Structure 1
Amino acid sequence: MKKIIIISLVILGLAAGAGLGVLIWWLVRSDSPYETILLEGNLGAVRSTAAFTRIHGHGDMFWWFYPSVASSPMSRPVLLWLHGVTGIASSYLANFGMFGPYDANFDRRHDSWVNDYNLLFVDAPLGTGFSSSNWQNTSNTDFPGLDENADHLLRTLQSFYDIHGEYKNAPLYVCSQGDGSQLALALTIKLNEDNSFKDRFKGIILGNPVISPALALTKLGFYLEELGYVDAAGREAIENFSNVTSLLVESEQFQEAFLKFTFLGKYINENTGAVAVNLAHIVEKLYRSSLDSDYFGVKSYLDSLYPTDTHINNFMDTVGRAILHVPDTVRYDGQRELATNAFMETYMKPIVDKVEHILSNSDVTVNIYNGNLDAVSNTPGQLEWVNRLSWPGQAQFLSSPRETLVFNRLIEGYFRESNRLRFYWLNVAGQLAPIDNPIGIRRILNRITNN
């Protein structure tokens, strides 16, 4: 049945494209370091704009924008959503997998965020999703890393507003999940330095962020022992793993630390007595043979939610390509390994200083939420760095009461809020928090955006 749906949609997409005209409309700005390549195509009844921002000499950044279906969408917040190098690109995971207007079976998602917000999904960094780099060297050293991708994201936002200038007065929030927080923080600093974004840029939203991964890892043994997944010996094994990782970070052996850290799921399941634990969603029941094969278990968890015989990359290379008329020369996630290698030197570096810089040198709000079922970015480990932040408003934040997040009398989580820094504990949610607790996330977004 699923194959029939996919084939039918491909045919419909191609037919619709034929009616709209040939592939691409070019918007060329000779005085600009970038140009925008609009893709002709749409998905169902919900309007959208998809495009490549071509950064001259570097590559093409793909973005997909859904205007809110609410009344007066130009007054609604624009949520720019980012993932990172160890996850799944935004054009699939956030869009089809979590809160876009349609799910992976092309059923209309009635609780989609597009009901209240404008959604801007960007495949970043270059090399992930439909975004690609011009890199052609024989060495990985020149593939764009964190700082370069932050520059490219800034150009991409400028490109988006070139096309959709009607949203220039809408509040802008940079949002991320997991290690997408590294890109989100780097972009936030650049946006804060660019006066053209000053009035519209309101805040950064970090979901289960990877900010100080080695520090968060120091609490993993305690976390898993308290939940009963390991015993005292298992906790000791995890703490030994954590100590070695921390020493690698302290000695600035960041590549070695990254390789060890991404081995975490396999190590837990083979050396601590846990046997079958999905670190992305700790309460998922697994078969004994269901070991973590995709870094931290996000893909396997997503497969359990949306079972299909079509691989994500194949899905986007066929169905997604047909819907939007993406050129055949672009292969979905075709440079993922190169992009991951380019981030090895920065991934494990603590970036708490970037959070402190934003809090101390801007007016934007820093909003953090953490699902209590995510073992990698476990909440006790997150609070290790959050409670130690150094900025003028830290005392106010720490003295703010911890309050309850309630909807229809059910407790969805907790929160501590100050004027600039806010932390949200989210119940019954793992790394894919928008899927696990959509009501709680919506309440958090309402509080952050006053929407």
Structure 2
Amino acid sequence: MVKTSSARLLLPLLLCCFLLSVKICVATGTADGSEQWGYVEVRPKAHLFWWRYRSPQRIENGSTPWPTVLWLQGGPGASGVGIGNFQEIGPLDADLKPRKSTWLQKADLLFVDNPVGTGFSYVEDESLFVRTDVEAAVDLTTLLKKLYGENESWRNSPLFIVAESYGGKYAVTVALTIVEAIKAGELKLKLGGVALGDSWISPEDFVFSWGPLLRDVSRLDIKDADKSNIIAERIRQEIEKGQFLDATNSWSDLEGLIISGSNKVDFYNFLLDSADDPISLTAVQQSEKLTMKAYPTYLSSKASSSVDISSLMNGVIREKLKIIPKTVSWGNQSDDVFNSLSSDFMRPRIREVDELLSLGINVTIYNGQVDLICATKGTEAWVQKLKWEGLKDFNSIDRTPLYCTTEEPGVTKGFLKSYKNLHFYWILKAGHFVPVDQPCLSLKMIAGITQSPAVSSS
């Protein structure tokens, strides 16, 4: 268990400040240096917020360098500083109590509210929202140049980009931008690899997976499954023609059909019914087909904590950080982020995965068994579209079963297949939010991905 107390959480130390249109600290942190956070102005009037934790289990002089995980949330418009940190893998949960399964046991953690406008990140001019994944990657690389340029001690820690949902599209684009910056001598860090968790890499393959999958599990009948496939085909043609905004609108139509035909299946766990959730879609939301926009609040509806994530972030966390401008409220620009990316939302990023593999970068894919929005069936489909020379051999090898001996000895928790620099984890009994549904196996997985010196034997 990580010994991070709520008392220490409330002990910030001012390190340095500068003046823009408002008074903002470049970087602050706790007195013991275990946490640092701050803003980077990645473009004039466009500000990214970051928060880094140093692991108390960190091994400074081991034969294997201690890793850093950069966590990228999805949405687009969902906050890694809030959701990933306090609801999934950070040292404290939403009740500010230590999380037994925190990934901080295996790596230092860097959370970024990406892109600008997400979480505590913000823009001072609405024209500054990013409109493509590549623009988001450039901003994020600018932030890393600033942070790694000022923190020489960080450079010995290999960086692993771990993404969830739409964050996977950010991850593969920024990984390539990082590689370019390293080659140009503009960024000094070692890229350890990229991990894509339930990631929206190929929207076409996911929408084609929905009808057959939901028919197999009795949430759609033949009639509605056929209707689903018809809309999916329309989406395929729009993507093929580069009509990505039209494809986004058709995706909304398809979600509306799925919601109606399945009697509101939970898009993040197809074994559940979204009508059972406090964030159940209202009639207005159904008419606007905003299922993906429920992503930032979904985990709050499932958590045992009574603390709403927005109240937490705009309350005690805001007070702790002390540098959030008075005009900025956590998450208040998230809809604008989503809308600004609507013309890039359905653009596939399979080519970027291929490029990373060809460069020898470690690429890990992990998927929750009962996720619908980014279903395993869809993930497997886009993997088969890779042009990577190792794909045939990858397909031919056997999977290895995975267990958590400290939790349920002998019970299969998942499977792993690895060939060269491609690794695929099938996580059983998990939905879209794998670290929440399978915390033990997720912790074991991230230890394997990062080759953490503190790998558990469980």
TM-score (norm 1): 0.86
Distance in 2 (alpha carbons) for counterparts of 1:280 and 1:187: 25
Residue 94 of structure 2 contacts residue 307 of structure 2 at CA under 8 Å; is this kept in 1?
Answer: no
Alpha-carbon separation, structure 1, partners of 2:302 and 2:315: 21
State the partner residue of 1:331. Answer: 329
Task: Provide closer, same or farther for how the CA distance between residues 198 and 40 of structure 1 changes in structure 2, counting only shifts above 3 A.
Answer: closer
Residue 31 of structure 1: aligned partner: none
- Computed over aligned residues only, the root mean square deviation of the Cα atoms, in angstroms, reads 2.7
The aligned residue for residue 278 of structure 1 is 266
User: Matched residues in 2 for 1:288 and 1:324: separation?
Assistant: 35
* Change over 3 Å in CA distance of 1:254–1:68 after alignment to 2: same
2:344 is the counterpart of 1:346: yes
How has the CA–CA distance of structure 1 residues 295 and 286 changed in structure 2, closer, same or farther, with 3 Å as cutoff? Answer: closer
Q: Does 1:419 align with 2:420?
A: yes
Tell me how many residue pairs correspond in the alignment.
422
Match of 1:440 in 2: 441
**Paired position in structure 1 for 2:455:** none
Q: Is the alpha carbon distance of 1:134 and 1:73 closer, same or farther for their aligned partners in structure 2, counting shifts above 3 Å?
A: farther
Secondary structure of 1:346's match? coil
Identity of aligned residues (%): 26
- 2:450 maps to what in 1? 449
Distance 1:233 1:333, change over 3 A: same
Which blocks of at least 5 consecutive residues in structure 1 are unaligned? 1-8, 29-34
Contact 1:73 1:117 in 2 (8 A): no
- The structural deviation recorded for 1:291 is 3.1
SS where residue 339 of structure 1 aligns? helix
> What is the DSSP-based 3-state SS (H/G/I as helix, E as strand, rest coil) of the residue aligned with 1:93?
helix
> Could you say which residue in structure 2 is the equivalent of 1:178?
165
**How far apart in 2 are the matches of 1:442 and 1:278?**
25
Given that 2:368 and 2:428 are in contact with CA atoms closer than 8 Å, whether structure 1 keeps it comes out as yes
Structure 2 unaligned spans of 5+: 1-5, 453-458
Alpha-carbon offset, residue 144 of structure 1: 5.0
Alpha-carbon shift at residue 119 of structure 1 (Å) = 0.4
Conserved in 2, the CA contact under 8 Å of 1:181 and 1:211? yes
Going from structure 1 to structure 2, the CA distance change for 1:287 and 1:334 (only over 3 Å counts) comes to closer
Letter in 2 for 1:128: T
Conserved 8 A contact 1:321-1:327: no
Please list the CA deviations of residues 78-134 of structure 1 after superposition, one character each: whole Å capped at 9, or x if unmatched: 000111343621011110000101101111112211112100001101111111123
Whole-angstrom distance in 1 between the partners of 2:138 and 2:130: 14
Worse-matched range after superposition: 297-306 or 144-153:
297-306
Displacement over 6 Å in runs of 4+: none
**Match status 1:318 vs 2:315:** yes
Q: 2:113: which partner in 1?
A: 123
**1:366 paired residue number:** 363
1:50 maps onto 2:37 in alignment: yes
Give the structure 2 partner of residue 201 of structure 1: 191
Q: Which one-letter code corresponds to 2:281 in the other structure? A: L
After TM superposition, give the deviation of residue 345 of structure 1 in Å: 1.7
Superposed, 1:39-438 pairs within 5 Å as 39-40=28-29, 47-72=34-59, 75-86=65-76, 88-137=78-127, 143-193=130-180, 194-195=182-183, 196=185, 200-262=190-252, 264-270=254-260, 272=261, 274-287=262-275, 290-291=280-281, 295-296=291-292, 297-299=294-296, 301-306=298-303, 311-325=308-322, 326-360=324-358, 362-408=359-405, 409-438=410-439
8 Å Cα contact 1:263-1:295 kept in structure 2: no
2:74 match: secondary structure: coil
Distance across 1 between alignment mates of 2:202 and 2:30: 40
Structure 2 distance, partners of 1:48, 1:210, is 31
Question: Do the aligned residues in 2 keep the contact of 1:69 with 1:116 (CA within 8 Å)?
Answer: no
| Whole-angstrom CA distance in 2 between matches of 1:345 and 1:202 | 31
Q: How far apart in 2 are the matches of 1:186 and 1:275? A: 36
Report the CA distance between 1:398 and its aligned residue.
2.0
Q: Distance in 1 between matches of 2:131 and 2:295?
A: 25
